[in-house]
Chain A
Amino acid sequence: MALTTSKPRRLRLPRSWHGHPDSDTPWRTIMVFLTPALLVYLAFTAYPVARTFYNAVHIIKPRDADQFVGWAHFIELFSKDALFVKAVSNTLIWAGAAPFIDVGVGLILALALYSRVPFARFFRVAWFTPVLISYVVVGVVWMWIYNYDWGIVNAFLRALGLDDWTHAWIGDPDTALWAIIFTHTWKWAGFNMVVCLAALAALPREVLEAAELDNCNWFKRAWFVMIPMIKPTLVNLLILSLIGKMKVFDLVWIMTQGGPLWSTETVSTYVYKRAFNWSSFDLGYPSAIAVVWFVVVLACVLILKLVFRQRDKLEY
């Protein structure tokens, strides 16, 4: 018997599989499995994306033929549209600040639960609840909370005798954006907490015990051992949170519709307004905004991925 030695191959597909398939790949079977998903993808994702790119260089009005305008929308966008600039700056303030607040709060909560407090399970389940409540409900409740006359924030301030601090929190252009950012953080902190907790639970016990033996106190252990060890998870959460803020629409639309005085206008609400609320009836211009923003979001994600990957390489 001539059995030549060679590494046995399991049929199980490795994660990074780049080899060539067997000559007789069962294409028919594969297509049976894949066709429904591909059809949905092509019809409701790929084609609309392509169509948006087409829109962006045309004026699209109902009952008129599409009129090609080249870069005109983009030029107008960057040279004349003060509202677009406002929307971008609001969104960037949000996307720049909120991820750190979200993940920071989530991390602190997770560390608190991880230090073996009683009722940890109850706390976890309770804190996660806001994640599951729809933006519409969250938005309405927080409109009440911020209400000038009877909202709990002002009621609380008055009870403390701080009447001067009372505010129409979402009615004042100076505070509206931060009030909404605060609400958004309220909704998402629980999600970040749960993910951090899962990452902490997956840490090897020995390392933590070693740190305990080295006479580190709790804060030192958290800062020098636990947080560095779950850094990949934290980075993922930051990116996830950032993407979320770049898309944010629902909460703003419910609470302020971008007002007062465009102080809470985000790119998403602006696109919506230009496409469906203003009676300009041109779908080309908002599509151009969408294309610009699509590129910005993709670039952000790629840059962040690259930056954090390189850092990691340098460290080890």
Chain B
Amino acid sequence: MAIVQLKQLSKYYSGQSEPAVDAVSLTVDDGEFMVLLGPSGCGKSTTLRMVAGLENISAGELLIDDVLMNKIPAKDRDIAMVFQSYALYPHMTVRDNMAFGLRRRGIKGAELERRVRATAETIGLTPYLDRKPHALSGGQRQRVALGRAIVRNPKVFLLDEPLSNLDAALRVSTRSELVKQQRNLGTTMIYVT
């Protein structure tokens, strides 16, 4: 559980006069579901990527639970992210996709299997655990991407337009599913759309 604070967070790319992100300040409370809305290309994604640690922070401060995160690499921030393209590992089964992050954190054997199964159960992926991403529908892939984040039980959850590749009906049901999940997990979430 975490409080995420952005203080005057900015991103400049060399060769461009305008900053991509200009002094964003906001606080996301513990367990809050924060949604960033705006036209495409207004810097939401870049902001999210700075929080994730995928982009360097040009200026300003990022704090999670009052700890300065600017120089902490992505892998040590305990943040999970769901990508717009899902970014599922195409050479791994659903099970391995979900286990990939856990394995890196030293979880293995029965404990690993238990957590993967539990997560798969809550998002209805149990029958597909041994399939590879190319054998799944768009909605199923989206759920794998979500499951891959949930299973890690991170402090903060980042979602970068995770619904934009789904059809309208699926989008509505997945959105309510997401809200339900967030209430159950009580995790801090930042959602860009």
Contact = CB atoms under 8 A, between A and B. Distances in A.
B64 interface: no
A2 B14 CA distance: 21
B91 to A, nearest CB: 20
Interface in A1-60: 1-9, 11, 19-20, 22-24
Name the 9 nearest CB pairs between A and B, nearest first.
A4-B22, A20-B14, A19-B15, A6-B20, A3-B43, A5-B42, A6-B18, A8-B41, A3-B42
Interface in B13-69: 13-16, 18-26, 36, 38-47, 54-56
A1 B25 CA distance: 7
B45 A6 contact: no
Contact of B21 (A4, A19, A20): A4
B41 A6 contact: yes
Contacts of B18: 4, 6
A5 B41 contact: yes
Interface residues of B, number: 27
A7 B41 contact: yes
B43 A6 contact: yes
Contacts of B55: 11
B43 A8 contact: yes
B13 to A, nearest CB: 6
Contacts of A22: 14, 56
Interface of B: 13-16, 18-26, 36, 38-47, 54-56
Contacts of B54: 11
B24 A19 contact: no
B43 A24 contact: no
Contacts of B36: 1, 3
B39 A5 contact: yes
Categorize the interface residue count of chain A.
10 to 19
A18 to B, nearest CB: 8
A6 B16 contact: yes
Contacts of A6: 16, 18-21, 41-43
B23 A8 contact: no
A69 to B, nearest CB: 50
B20 A9 contact: yes
Given A19-B14, A24-B56, A3 B41 contact: no
Given A9-B46, A22-B56, A3 B21 contact: yes
A86 B82 CA distance: 68
A8 B40 contact: yes
A1 B26 contact: yes
B39 A9 contact: no
Contacts of B40: 8
Given A4-B19, A23-B56, 16 more contacts: A1-B24, A2-B23, A3-B24, A3-B36, A5-B43, A6-B18, A6-B41, A6-B42, A7-B16, A7-B20, A7-B41, A8-B40, A8-B41, A8-B45, A8-B46, A20-B15
A95 to B, nearest CB: 43
7 contacts: A3-B47, A4-B21, A6-B18, A6-B19, A7-B41, A8-B43, A8-B46
B46 to A, nearest CB: 6
Given A3-B38, A3-B43, A3-B47, A8 B20 contact: yes
Nearest to A21: B14
A4 B43 contact: yes
Interface centre among B15, B19, B20, B24, by most chain A C-beta atoms within 10 angstroms, is B20
Contacts of B39: 5
Contacts of B20: 4, 6-9
B22 A3 contact: yes
A3 B26 CA distance: 11
A241 B13 CA distance: 44
A1 B39 CA distance: 14
A3 B10 CA distance: 9
A6 B22 CA distance: 10
Interface centre among A5, A6, A11, A19, by most chain B C-beta atoms within 10 angstroms, is A6
B174 to A, nearest CB: 24
A8 to B, nearest CB: 5
A11 to B, nearest CB: 7
